[in-house]
């Protein structure tokens, strides 16, 4: 379950009205920096040949002047130069409207804590390693960066339709657990996969999950799980395609259609699904 110390209903003491807090980089301990370095080295070594080209290019943004958890003032200078995005520290999970507002304005909220040694391989609530290592490399890609802005703006609009559950699935199956079909094979780009050693292998190699060609309506009908590896992965043909379908789709009638249909259970394969791999 979520770590209750990082879940808040209102901005905690010391947080601004937009839920941001000072990073206070100097307060991270040597042990916490060492956890980042251990995770960074492990993932960086195993992701070539598994992660999308855009992600691997973006890792260079994280190669800063000193080891340990990135200091945001230095990281943001490089990220802003690439795509105009920046990372902002938050105390934990933030309300949906706050999250969408940040994305729509090219700000990515990152949890201001790091997992313990006992949580190296699994953590339900996103920490600074998931948020920064998992998301920042893709945010340095101009097309994906624009997709995230479009998602944030769409998220703000979705609140007026009561459609958050459906739209959350789009984020889950792309930003967090997305796969991409490159010319040289299937690759991972979702932050929830690339920040996980075990799921980086499972998502590409295990025979059990269904790897389906991306279809926006299908994705938004499909349930997902938060307590284990995914049993559905959706495969985009390109980041350009993902951006195009997001900005060109009128979501209002889509939400109306979704309200009239049942959800699709995890692991289900429909007649018109296209299996990949």
pLDDT tens-digit readout, 94-107 = 999 999 999 999 99
Beta bridge partners of 86: 107
| Backbone angles phi and psi of 14, in degrees to 5 | 95, -10
Residue 4 scores a pLDDT above 80: no
The reported pLDDT for the residue numbered 8 is 60
Residue 2 scores a pLDDT above 60: no
pLDDT tens-digit readout, 7-32 = 566 777 788 999 999 999 999 999 99
Residue 3 scores a pLDDT above 60: no
CATH class name, domain 14-259? mainly alpha
User: What single DSSP character describes residue 12?
Assistant: P
Please measure the distance between the N-terminal and C-terminal CA atoms of the chain and give it in whole angstroms. Answer: 33
pLDDT tens-digit readout, 211-253 = 999 999 999 999 998 888 999 999 999 999 999 999 999 999 9
The reported pLDDT for the residue numbered 6 is 47
Q: Which run of H or E residues covers position 213? A: strand 210-213
Residue 72 scores a pLDDT above 80: yes
The reported pLDDT for the residue numbered 93 is 85
Q: How far out from the chain centre does Cα 52 lie?
A: 14
C-alpha distances out from residue 241 to 82, 98, 196, 247, Å: 21, 27, 26, 10
Per-position DSSP letters for 80-124, written without gaps between them? HHHHS-EEEEESSB--HHHHHHHHHTTEEEEES----GGGSS--S
* Contacts with 183 (C-beta within 8 Å, 6 or more apart), sequence order: none
Beta bridge partners of 264: 222
Q: What is the mean pLDDT of the chain?
A: 93
Structure tokens, 251? 């979501």
Closest to 246 in 3D by CA, of 220, 269, 266, 265: 220
Domain ranges of the chain: 14-259
C-beta of residue 79 within 8 angstroms of C-beta of residue 61: yes
The reported pLDDT for the residue numbered 122 is 74
C-beta of residue 138 within 8 angstroms of C-beta of residue 58: yes
Residue 92 scores a pLDDT above 90: no
The reported pLDDT for the residue numbered 206 is 97
């Amino acid at each position: 379950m979520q770590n209750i110390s990082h879940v808040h209903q209102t901005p905690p003491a010391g947080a601004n009205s937009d839920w941001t807090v000072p990073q206070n980089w100097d307060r991270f301990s040597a042990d916490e920096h060492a956890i980042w370095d251990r995770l960074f080295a492990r993932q960086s070594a195993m992701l070539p040949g598994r992660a999308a080209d855009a992600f691997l290019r973006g890792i260079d943004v994280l190669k800063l002047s000193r080891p340990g958890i990135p200091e945001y003032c230095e990281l943001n200078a490089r990220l802003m130069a690439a795509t105009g995005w920046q990372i902002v520290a938050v105390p934990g999970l933030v309300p949906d409207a706050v999250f969408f507002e940040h994305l729509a304005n090219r700000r990515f909220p990152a949890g201001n804590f790091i997992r313990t040694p006992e949580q190296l391989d699994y953590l339900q609530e996103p920490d600074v390693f998931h948020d920064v290592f998992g998301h920042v490399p893709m945010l340095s890609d101009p097309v994906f960066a624009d997709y995230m802005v479009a998602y944030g703006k769409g998220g703000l609009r979705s609140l007026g339709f009561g459609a958050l559950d459906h739209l959350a699935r789009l984020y889950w199956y792309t930003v967090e657990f997305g796969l991409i079909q490159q010319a040289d094979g299937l690759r991972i780009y979702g932050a929830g996969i690339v920040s996980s050693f075990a799921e980086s292998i499972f998502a590409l190699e295990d025979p059990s999950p269904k790897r389906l060609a991306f279809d926006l309506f299908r994705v938004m009908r499909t349930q997902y799980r938060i307590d284990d590896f995914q049993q559905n992965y959706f495969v985009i043909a390109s980041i350009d395609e993902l951006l195009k379908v997001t900005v060109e789709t009128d979501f209002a009638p889509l939400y109306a259609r979704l309200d009239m249909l049942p959800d699709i259970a995890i692991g289900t394969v429909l007649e018109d699904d296209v299996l990949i791999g």
